[in-house]
Amino acid sequence: MTNIKVARFYLPLLIIFGMFSSGLAAEAERTALGLTTRTGSNSLPFVIAEEKGFFKSEGLNTIVVVMQNLVVLTGVATKNVDYGGTFSNFVGGALSGLPVRIVMAVMDGSDHVLVTSPGIKKVEELKGKIIGTSSFGSTSHSEISMVLRKHGINPERDVTFLQIGGSASRYAALESNSIHAAMVVPPFNKIGRKRGFNELLSFNDVMRIPFGGVAAHVDKIREKPEEIVRVIKALLKSIDFIRNRKAEILSLMEKDWGIKDSEVREGIYQDIVGLYSRTGIASDEMMKNVIQMVQEARKTVANVPLSNIVDWSFAKKANEELKKR
């Protein structure tokens, strides 16, 4: 029975990676960057870098591939995916000894907001309820676990977690009443509020952590350091575009995110624009926060050097090269 379960889990991954690898055969320089969704503030710099040609401007043929959170980590750890665009799951992976490192932080704070069903107006009312998360050990799971503990709820005993996927999937589950709460990113918190759901709190009200980033296998770091620098430069350009081209970002929100309400678009932009990192480097304090959050969620106390989790040398070099232009 165990072997059957393992096969069922890994077979889809093998199919995804096999299909992608066959595509790579025709274009050896193409690199894949895994995200859980193309919609939302965390994904925005990656999508902009792809669609506005910032990857190409750095001589890269990088494509954004949407996959489940666990698949992003597994893909990078097995070298089937070149880069991961998520953060806390790679912190957890590095803490558990996987050969991965975070090389860039995209945001200097989480944009996750706890959204609940219309009848739930306090965190304490989540006891006994169903909560959606992308996957166990993911950012959304770690964040909500910490929020629950701070409000006297045991996340292992007092609630039920469902692994659903990215914010779009979690919000859809809220709308279908399959779950009672979820941490989601913009635009889903604003959409939900318009439709009667409750925004209980922003995770930044609880703790400041880096959110979103770029992670790579240690072999990639050793073998292709210049490629990593170019990926980071492209994303820093993308972040600069987000800050300085507000009208185009609002237009993208309407066209690609489906946000027709101009007031909602404006609110989302104001909420997220200040969160993007100017350097791609997270402070040691924020890294301690995210490590604490992940360890609490996973019930681990591994004492791992920060150098086994992050390597900011590439981001530092990317900033230096961009300043020279």
How many independent structural domains does the chain possess?
2
Model confidence at 73, pLDDT cuts 50, 70, 90, reads: very high
Query: Could you say which of 153, 184, 205 is where a domain stops?
Result: 205
Are residue 43 and residue 184 in the same domain, yes or no?
no
Are residue 123 and residue 103 in the same domain, yes or no?
no
Per-residue model confidence as pLDDT tens digits over 124-153: 999 999 999 988 877 788 889 989 999 999
Are residue 179 and residue 132 in the same domain, yes or no?
yes
Residue range 75-92: mean pLDDT, rounded: 94
Are residue 265 and residue 320 in the same domain, yes or no?
yes
For residue 141, what is the domain's CATH number? 3.40.190.10
Per-residue model confidence as pLDDT tens digits over 267-292: 899 989 999 999 999 999 999 999 98
What pTM was estimated for this model as a whole?
Answer: 0.80
In terms of Cα–Cα distance, which of 79, 85, 96, 178 is closest to 137?
96
C-alpha 318/C-alpha 279 separation (Å) is 9
DSSP string covering 84-124: E--SHHHHHHHHTT-SEEEEEEEESS---EEEE-TT--SGG
The answer, yes or no, to whether residue 83 has pLDDT greater than 80, is: yes
Query: Could you say which of 205, 227, 249 is where a domain stops?
Result: 205
C-alpha 252/C-alpha 288 separation (Å) is 34
Q: How far is CA 59 from CA 4, 103, 226, 270, in A?
A: 43, 19, 11, 32
Per-residue model confidence as pLDDT tens digits over 87-110: 988 999 999 999 999 999 999 998
Are residue 60 and residue 88 in the same domain, yes or no?
yes
Per-residue model confidence as pLDDT tens digits over 186-195: 888 988 998 9
Domain enclosing residue 142, as ranges: 113-205
Supply the pLDDT for residue 220.
Answer: 97
Reported in sequence order, the residue ranges of the chain that DSSP labels E, i.e. its strands, are: 30-35, 61-66, 83-84, 100-107, 113-116, 130-133, 160-163, 181-184, 198-202, 211-217
Are residue 103 and residue 134 in the same domain, yes or no?
no
Query: Could you say which of 189, 205, 221 is where a domain stops?
Result: 205
Are residue 255 and residue 294 in the same domain, yes or no?
yes
Are residue 261 and residue 309 in the same domain, yes or no?
yes
Per-residue model confidence as pLDDT tens digits over 198-246: 999 999 888 899 988 999 999 999 999 999 999 999 999 999 999 999 9
Supply the pLDDT for residue 225.
Answer: 97
Residue range 53-79: mean pLDDT, rounded: 94
Supply the pLDDT for residue 298.
Answer: 75
Q: How far is CA 288 from CA 160, 183, 294, 303, in A?
A: 28, 21, 10, 12
Are residue 213 and residue 105 in the same domain, yes or no?
yes
